[in-house]
Structure 1
Amino acid sequence: MSTPTADSPTIDQVNRRPVFLLLFASVVAAIGNGVSIVALPWLVLQRTGSAADAAIVAAAGTLPLVFSTLISGTAVDFFGRRKMSIISDVLSLLSVSAIPILAMTTGLSVPLLAALAAIGAIFDPAGITARESMLPAAAKAAGWSLDRMNSMYEAVFNVAYIVGPGLGGLLIASIGGVNTMWATASTFVVSALAIAFLKVEGGGKPAAETKPTGVVSGVVEGLKFVWNVKILRTLALIDMAITALYLPIESVLLPKHFSDAGTPQQLGWILMAISVGGLLGALGYATMVRHVQRRTIMVCATFTAGITTLGMSLLPPIAVLLVLGACLGFIYGPVAPIANYVMQTRSPEHMRGRVVGVMTSTAYCAGPLGFMLAGPIADKFGVASTLTILGVPMLLIAVASIRMPVLRELDREEQRPQ
């Protein structure tokens, strides 16, 4: 686990301002995205009443993430972390503000909303990657361990995606869907201002000799680096597989089950249970890792994902489903902080943006694959059978993880390569 080093600041040198500004900017921008998750489909349904049209807009906001996340890492390493974070927020602000402006002028259509959702999806990953790349420097300034920093960072994201959709619903009810987008736009203004005041080591203009020479070459360098570092490659593949198996549960199978049962409110309850469990798991990681090896946490998380999924396949009463969902969120909550730690300690300073971009893009790539697999299976065999089909591979991945010596590197203190 992370321990103080000779480079750690003394009590007089400790500066927590970068940590608070970075976490504040991250949570505010994420809340804005959380509001958009609710507001965009609502705008579509207000105009057409078609669930298919709402799905088109939702897909438009997710599909570009696979490619934009890859490119965003190269952009961060080329332009610099602070600058790219601010640019990303400004572009997101413009794409979101265009919705109420067009609603008051030319009017909104499904293709137009889909296009604006896609544009937003192109800009957002650069800001997230830039802010995540500054975490180690902010932790160093505050005298925090990387584990504590990563725990707090992932926790604020969980908070944002609990608060954001709920806030979006309240705003829609009080000021309407179109005006809600003005509120969303304001979050990107606040995030950009917070980063503008952020001063952190490595956040400025990168050295010319370390910049990527082009978009394609930068992406290729990131991909090669992740592939050649065995622990990064292993984590990326495990995360990709688990994400492909898990995302359809939350986005397709549980909604179908509760829709067929005529109890949509219970869907909200279980999604909230998963989110709150994830928040507590992320928050508890910094304490957990002092007593439990990262490898053990990782293996337990994959086993829990499989066991809870198989438990859900029995379609038990809602009380049991809520417990299963909370357990899944809590045990899997520390996985993202562990992945962050490995990226931070195994990637060179000048390549961190590219490494973060590649690792994040694998998860985004897995989502559509999972949806394409789970949807047809659920239509043919039903929700219970599909949950079983998804849960068994999760358990097999967990069993395989026990026999992977490379995962022992999760607990090896290693200096970042230069």
Structure 2
Amino acid sequence: MHGKSTTIRFLTSNALSLLGNSVAGVVLPLVLLARTGDALAAGTLALICAVPQMLAGLMGGALLDRLNRRSISIVSDFISALGIALLPVVDMVWGLNFGWFVALGLLSAVGDIPGMTARDALLPAVCERDGVNLQQFLGAAQSLDCIVTIVGPALAALLIGFGGDVNALWVTAALSCAAAIVTVTIPRSVGAVPPRVAADGACDAETAPAKRRTALQRVAAAARASLVDGCRVLFKDDAVLRASTLLTFGIVMVMGSFQGLVLPVHFTETGHPELLGYVLSAMAAGMLAGSLGYAALAPRARKRTWYLISLAGMAASVALMGMLPAFPALIAGAVVLGMAAGPASALLGFFAYDRIPNAHRGSALGTQNALMLVAAPVAVFATSIVVKSAGTSIAALVLVGAWMLVTVAALCAKSMRNLDEAVRSPSGAGEAARETSGAAAQSPAE
């Protein structure tokens, strides 16, 4: 392997998987609403799937510290494709109902969540193999993600227009399969677990006594050990990592509720639900611009400067959008929000990859993804109660107030005041990348 071939393949696989998820994110709610006729079904489905998704994330994290991470990514994408492909099959044979959505949604989660964590765990190793600066690569990867986020809804609309909502899911499944096939071309050594993890286990639940347990007991023990180990890495050992993780949770909960509930309800109430897509596309376009700017200028500016500018821009734009102004003002606020959120997302991701040791990356990232998968639907459900009891405008203002509290906490966090001194290594991959490099040297490449 020469040049930047591994990073290119990784980006291609990640983009295909994300494009499939982006199309599904538009198509699935429409299919669910058309088949059930219940506007609350999507929120209910999210709550029902939250705990199983969390368990899938924890188990995926445990496996990623034991098995080859590239292999898990491949298997996860194929499982995700199967879960999506079965939806049109079931619709043709028996007809979809809410129960089928729950069952197949859980099957897809078994693939989606570990697959997402596997790609997160692979990223630093991919950068190390090709000698790519991690900080700049995160900015470039996020820029590509933004492009996919813009293209996805448009592709979904095109597919629905030509073939109908359910048939569009065939393309989603095909994209997941394509992502798995591209990942197959990445050298197996990139996904190798560090030798010391294979020897003593980052969250070892399979000691000699454990081998005599039932399969269910071993699964429960592995999930529990992964959660304990992941929480220790994320929240106990490293103040910078703890602060950045909590800020990520704040972004996911507040922004997820605003985009996933308040804005859709607002546009539905005003009789223009189609405008939601334009606002979300404007936000994605703004994030693309912000991410590209960060990728180009990241090494030239202090991380603390990026941090402050991003927080200020996000606070101002959320305050504007929270007033639910006229459509042009909402578009402007969405663009600014995206531009400010782009550098913040890349910067927080950088600190996670830089500071989580490779030996614990699976459990830590699996725990983070699993907890966010529970936090997001809980926040949306809480927001829905405010919408129902006090109205959409009040709910929007409550979210603005919540975001201001998150911003103040982020600005006052002592651990985030000297961000440029918090980097563990000049390469940006830290101890984690050095461990990955050592593991790759001892594992044969394909």
Q: Give me the TM-score of the superposition, normalised by structure 2.
A: 0.84
Aligned to 1:397: 406
Alignment of 1:206-225 (within 5 A): 207=195, 208-211=198-201, 212-214=203-205, 215=222, 216-225=224-233
The answer (yes or no) to whether the contact 1:15–1:141 under 8 Å persists in 2 is no
Q: Does 2:310 correspond to 1:301? A: yes
Q: Compute the displacement of 1:243 (Å).
A: 2.4
Q: Provide the C-alpha distance between the structure 2 equivalents of 1:312 and 1:147, rounded to a whole number of angstroms.
A: 30
Aligned to 2:209: none
Q: Provide the C-alpha distance between the structure 1 equivalents of 2:10 and 2:265, rounded to a whole number of angstroms.
A: 38
The answer (yes or no) to whether the contact 1:56–1:114 under 8 Å persists in 2 is no
Which of 68, 89, 102 aligns to 1:80? It is 68
Moved more, 321-330 or 155-164: 155-164
Aligned to 2:441: none
Aligned to 2:87: 99
Sort the Cα spacing of 1:201 and 1:286 in 2 relative to 1 into closer, same or farther, 3 A. Answer: farther
Which of 7, 27, 32 aligns to 1:44? It is 32
State the AA in 2 paired with 1:118.
Answer: L
Moved more, 300-309 or 227-236: 300-309
State the AA in 2 paired with 1:75.
Answer: L
Which of 152, 157, 181 aligns to 2:145? It is 157
Count of residue pairs the alignment pairs up: 406
SS at match of 1:144: coil
- Alignment gaps of 5+ in structure 1: 1-12
Which of 158, 175, 180 aligns to 1:187? It is 175
- Alignment gaps of 5+ in structure 2: 206-221, 436-446
SS at match of 1:276: helix
Q: Provide the C-alpha distance between the structure 2 equivalents of 1:404 and 1:58, rounded to a whole number of angstroms.
A: 32
State the AA in 1 paired with 2:101.
Answer: L
Sort the Cα spacing of 1:365 and 1:124 in 2 relative to 1 into closer, same or farther, 3 A. Answer: same
The answer (yes or no) to whether the contact 1:69–1:126 under 8 Å persists in 2 is yes
Aligned to 1:226: 234
Aligned to 1:136: 124
The answer (yes or no) to whether the contact 1:15–1:142 under 8 Å persists in 2 is yes
The answer (yes or no) to whether the contact 2:69–2:191 under 8 Å persists in 1 is yes
Aligned to 2:165: 177
Sort the Cα spacing of 1:123 and 1:159 in 2 relative to 1 into closer, same or farther, 3 A. Answer: same
Q: Provide the C-alpha distance between the structure 1 equivalents of 2:3 and 2:98, rounded to a whole number of angstroms.
A: 48
Q: Compute the displacement of 1:201 (Å).
A: 4.8
Sort the Cα spacing of 1:260 and 1:42 in 2 relative to 1 into closer, same or farther, 3 A. Answer: closer
Q: Compute the displacement of 1:149 (Å).
A: 1.1
Q: Does 2:295 correspond to 1:286? A: yes
Aligned to 2:113: 125
Sort the Cα spacing of 1:356 and 1:147 in 2 relative to 1 into closer, same or farther, 3 A. Answer: same
The answer (yes or no) to whether the contact 1:310–1:387 under 8 Å persists in 2 is no
The answer (yes or no) to whether the contact 2:73–2:183 under 8 Å persists in 1 is yes
State the AA in 1 paired with 2:364.
Answer: V
Sort the Cα spacing of 1:200 and 1:333 in 2 relative to 1 into closer, same or farther, 3 A. Answer: farther
SS at match of 1:177: coil
Q: Provide the C-alpha distance between the structure 2 equivalents of 1:69 and 1:352, rounded to a whole number of angstroms.
A: 13
SS at match of 1:332: helix
- What do the CA deviations read for 1:22-62 (whole angstroms, capped 9, x no partner)? 00000101111122222223333333433234544455566
The answer (yes or no) to whether the contact 2:311–2:344 under 8 Å persists in 1 is no
Q: Compute the displacement of 1:192 (Å).
A: 1.0
Alignment of 1:16-95 (within 5 A): 16-57=4-45, 64-95=52-83
Identity among equivalent positions (%) equals 27
Aligned to 2:439: none
The answer (yes or no) to whether the contact 2:153–2:277 under 8 Å persists in 1 is no
Sort the Cα spacing of 1:293 and 1:365 in 2 relative to 1 into closer, same or farther, 3 A. Answer: farther
- What do the CA deviations read for 1:42-88 (whole angstroms, capped 9, x no partner)? 33333343323454445556664333323322222221111100110
Aligned to 2:397: 388
Q: Does 2:119 correspond to 1:111? A: no
Q: Compute the displacement of 1:375 (Å).
A: 1.9
The answer (yes or no) to whether the contact 1:80–1:203 under 8 Å persists in 2 is yes
The answer (yes or no) to whether the contact 1:82–1:130 under 8 Å persists in 2 is yes
State the AA in 2 paired with 1:277.
Answer: G
Q: Does 2:303 correspond to 1:315? A: no
Sort the Cα spacing of 1:33 and 1:397 in 2 relative to 1 into closer, same or farther, 3 A. Answer: closer
Q: Does 2:359 correspond to 1:368? A: no
Q: Provide the C-alpha distance between the structure 1 equivalents of 2:396 and 2:337, rounded to a whole number of angstroms.
A: 14
Q: Provide the C-alpha distance between the structure 2 equivalents of 1:282 and 1:71, rounded to a whole number of angstroms.
A: 32
Moved more, 281-290 or 25-34: 281-290
Q: Provide the C-alpha distance between the structure 2 equivalents of 1:143 and 1:149, rounded to a whole number of angstroms.
A: 11
Sort the Cα spacing of 1:407 and 1:199 in 2 relative to 1 into closer, same or farther, 3 A. Answer: same
Q: Does 2:414 correspond to 1:414? A: no
SS at match of 1:78: coil
Q: Provide the C-alpha distance between the structure 2 equivalents of 1:65 and 1:245, rounded to a whole number of angstroms.
A: 20
Moved more, 251-260 or 387-396: 387-396
- What do the CA deviations read for 1:90-148 (whole angstroms, capped 9, x no partner)? 11122122222223333322211221012212321211211222222222333321111
